[in-house]
Amino acid sequence: MRRLILIAIPYVWLLALFLIPFFIVVKISLSDVALARPPYMPQLDWSAGWEGIRNFFAALDFENFGFLTTDDLYWKAYLSSLQIAGISTLLTLIVGFPIAYGMARAPEHWRPTLMMLVILPFWTSFLIRVYAWMGILSQNGLLNGVLMSLGVIGEPLTILNTDVAVYIGIVYTYLPFMILPIYAALEKLDSSLLEAAEDLGCSRLTAFWLITVPLSKQGVIAGCFLVFIPAVGEFVIPSLLGGSETLMIGKVLYEEFFSNRDWPVASAVAVVLLLILVIPIVLFQRNEQKQREAEG
């Protein structure tokens, strides 16, 4: 009984906070637009019982999903979001891996302090931190002031309201999500493997590429997923740091829900976004499972 309860808890959590809301969004995506509160006309009538369910499936249509293919705004937003999230994930990995490696190689009594410094930004509101970057990156902000005082630039740089500012905001915000899983993987690394590689004639750089990088693969993959998935649907950072030309699917969702009040189309956009994110994860997990079975 205890084992069943322990197993049931995460499944109940998943059902309550993911599956049920997801089915509600799918139901809205299959509804018709209506000027009411909420602004849609549901096609599924639960009060009619099985008759209502049969009528729903008989009249089932994917008109809202088809509408997404008629306007290039949506697929451009998807592609732009994937591009920005992919580049941001790569930049976060480039910045985060050396930090995680340095933490793992630091003396043990320093590691808790370094860990605290990594998670310290979470003690401050996410919105306040993004607003702080607006002040740093503006033309009269701290960054331009420092660069001009050092003589590096002669006039202020235009960074705010560009894609560069979005990349900076995403990398800064999600950097801990990249560092922590990589650090967890590197901390378990047996240093004797590196010593053995060096004894066999490998240089430190070669031993790093042949030993450290492959053994940290799981942490790198986990960190990339933890950064890429929320970055694709990011709304606050592109809205505050990006310009009007910064197109991301999170901004499109917000406009559809709250400005256009087209809930069925917005729900269809959200469902497609979720499928775009879930399908690669499922395929990757199946590939990893096949590799483990082949190794076993």
pLDDT score recorded for residue 295: 65
Q: What are 143-152's pLDDT values in tens digits?
A: 999 999 988 8
Which pLDDT score, from 0 to 100, does residue 276 have? 87
Amino acid found at 258: F
Q: What is the pLDDT of residue 270?
A: 92
The answer to which of 127-136, 225-234, 273-282 has the lowest mean pLDDT is 273-282
Domains and CATH numbers, the chain: 62-295 (1.10.3720.10)
What is the mean pLDDT of the segment spanning 270-275? 91
Q: CA torsion 46→278→253→161, rounded to 10°?
A: 170
pLDDT value of position 3:
85
Q: Is residue 48 over pLDDT 70?
A: no
- Shortest CA distance to 65 belongs to which of 108, 29, 31, 32? 29
Q: Given a cut of 90, is residue 101 above it in pLDDT?
A: yes
Q: What is the pLDDT of residues 182-228, one digit of tens each?
A: 999 998 888 888 888 877 888 888 888 888 888 898 899 989 999 99
Please report, to the nearest 10 degrees, the dihedral formed by the alpha carbons of residues 57, 59, 63, 64 taken in order.
Answer: -50
Rounded CA gap, 263 and 271, in Å?
12
- Confidence at residue 190, expressed as pLDDT on a 0 to 100 scale: 80
- pTM attached to this predicted model: 0.87
- CA quadruple 247, 237, 225, 98: dihedral positive or negative? positive
Do 51 and 85 contact (CB within 8 A), yes or no?
no
In this model, does residue 57 exceed pLDDT 80?
A: no
Q: What is the pLDDT of residue 46?
A: 66
Does 32 score more than 70 pLDDT?
yes
Of 123, 99, 112, 88, which is closest to residue 183 (Cα–Cα)? 99
Q: How would residue 257 be classed by pLDDT, with cut points 50, 70 and 90?
A: confident
Residue 293 scores a pLDDT above 90: no
Instruction: Kindly state the tokens that stand for 237.
Output: 């950072």
Q: What is the DSSP letter of 72?
A: H
Q: What is the dihedral of CA 231, 284, 83, 221, to 10 degrees?
A: 60
* % of the chain at pLDDT higher than 70: 95
Please state the rounded mean pLDDT for residues 45-65. Answer: 74
Position with higher pLDDT, 201 vs 119: 119
> Band of the pLDDT at 231, cuts 50, 70, 90?
very high
Q: What's CA 75's distance to the chain center, in Å?
A: 18
